[in-house]
């Protein structure tokens, strides 16, 4: 449920979710309703989405809070997420509708906070919004725009 909680910043909304990889990350969101294949759709040296059929085409996932439904492709996607981290172009945190094994494994080896199964529609969050992912307590905090 999208609601305001005590103990966090005023004027911010919070969504409960499930923690997959513990940690915390905050920053500007990059939101898509399309699945991502990290191996073939993202330049692992720059973090730029290079698939012209994807709605995030030419956008950079580096240092963003990436919100997407799930990844597609093979298990090599996990190593692609790790490569993004090694190249300093990984997202600060990831929010999935339903995390898959490649995303979960990649975030685990790259130490990228990951949450999924949000209680509210995270795809209603606009790209460019400021959010904080608390992947210890299973919460997403959204600043009002």
- 143 pLDDT band, cuts 50/70/90, is confident
For 48-66, the pLDDT digits (tens) are 999 999 999 999 999 999 9
Own/partner contacts of 119-126, CB < 8 Å, gap of 24 or more, are 119/1, 119/2, 119/15, 119/16, 119/17, 120/1, 120/2, 120/15, 122/15, 122/31, 122/67, 122/95, 122/97, 123/31, 123/33, 123/67, 123/69, 123/97, 125/29, 125/31, 125/67, 126/29, 126/31
- Whether 9 sits among the annotated catalytic residues: the reply is no
Domains and CATH numbers, the chain: 2-143 (3.50.30.10)
Catalytic residue among 9, 71, 74, 120: 74
- 2 pLDDT band, cuts 50/70/90, is very low
Provide the pLDDT for residue 7: 43
3-state helix, strand, coil in the chain (%, to 5): 20, 30, 50
Of the candidates 23, 52, 39, the one whose C-alpha atom is nearest the C-alpha of residue 102 is 39
For 68-122, the pLDDT digits (tens) are 999 998 889 999 999 999 999 999 999 999 999 999 999 999 999 999 999 999 9
């Amino acid at each position: 449920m999208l609601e305001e909680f005590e103990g966090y910043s005023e004027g911010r909304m919070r969504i409960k979710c499930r923690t997959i990889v513990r940690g915390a990350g905050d920053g500007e969101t990059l939101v898509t309703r399309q699945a991502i294949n990290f191996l073939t759709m993202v330049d692992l040296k720059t973090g730029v989405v290079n698939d012209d059929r994807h709605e995030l085409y030419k956008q950079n996932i580096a240092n963003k809070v990436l919100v997407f439904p799930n990844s597609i492709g093979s298990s090599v996607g996990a190593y692609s997420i790790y490569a993004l981290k090694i190249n300093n172009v990984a997202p600060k945190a990831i929010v999935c509708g339903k995390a898959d094994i490649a995303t979960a494994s990649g975030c685990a080896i790259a130490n990228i906070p990951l949450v999924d199964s949000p209680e509210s529609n995270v795809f209603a969050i606009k790209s460019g919004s400021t959010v904080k992912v608390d992947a210890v307590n299973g919460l997403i905090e959204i600043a009002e725009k």
